[in-house]
Amino acid sequence: MRLINEAHVAQPGLAVVEVAAADDQTAFAVQEALAGLWATAPADRTTRVAGEPGVRLRCFLDVRQELAS
């Protein structure tokens, strides 16, 4: 994965979330749960790191923007 850009965390309320999961389905389920709570810039794919188990996924959140229930 690329380094986290300063713009991604430039203000309070912005966050970068990295998910480590056994498989793509689990990683995307976690991302979907986060997107149900806050404004999210979702990832469209997972990555695999050689020598490490499972998959990784990174998404960007703005926790200042709660979604309407």
- Tell me if 3 is assigned to some domain: no
- The distance in angstroms from the start CA to the end CA of the chain is 33
pLDDT band at residue 69 under the 50/70/90 scheme: low
Number of structural domains (the chain) is: 1
User: Is-contact 55 24, C-beta < 8 A?
Assistant: yes
- Would you say residue 49 lies in a domain? yes
pTM of the model: 0.80
- 43 within a domain of the structure (yes/no): yes
- Cα distances from 57 to residues 23, 35, 50, 53, 69, in angstroms, run 10, 14, 15, 13, 26
Q: Is residue 2 part of a domain?
A: no
The answer to whether residue 7 sits within a structural domain is no
For residue 41, what are the domain limits? 13-66
Asked if residue 59 belongs to a domain, the reply is yes
Of 61, 40, 43, which is closest to residue 1 (Cα–Cα)?
43
Over residues 22-48, the pLDDT tens digits come to 999 999 999 999 999 999 999 999 999
pLDDT digits (tens, 9 = 90+) for 5-27: 676 666 898 999 999 999 999 99
